[in-house]
Amino acid sequence: MTPSHTKKDWFKFSLVMSMTEQQNRKYVQKEIGKLLSEIWRIKGLAEQEYGQQHLITKKLASMHADVQTLLQEKK
């Protein structure tokens, strides 16, 4: 620690960084939730257009499952 920085300064800096990280985490989780909703919506459209067994529909279902798994791992 340099003479110009006190323990109090470092504590404030640490607290601000922690708050920023929490805000970023919340933002990322919110965006992932939006992504999940959008994938699910498009998957529904693909099912209507191509049916449940089409490669596109299956890939969208797989993408949705993968994103859900990632989201659960981050909690």
**pLDDT for residue 2:** 52
| E strand or H helix at 71 | helix 55-74
Rounded to an integer, the average pLDDT of 13-28 is 83
Rounded to an integer, the average pLDDT of 34-58 is 95
Q: Is the pLDDT of residue 17 over 60?
A: yes
Could you give the CA distance from residue 58 to residue 4 in angstroms, rounded to a whole number? 60
Beta-carbon contacts of residue 10 (< 8 Å; ≥ 6 apart): 1
For residue 20, give both structure tokens. 């920023």
**pLDDT for residue 1:** 47
Q: Name which residue leads in pLDDT, 7 or 56.
A: 56
Cβ pair 46, 63 in contact under 8 A: no
**pLDDT for residue 16:** 77
**pLDDT for residue 6:** 79
Could you give the CA distance from residue 36 to residue 74 in angstroms, rounded to a whole number? 15
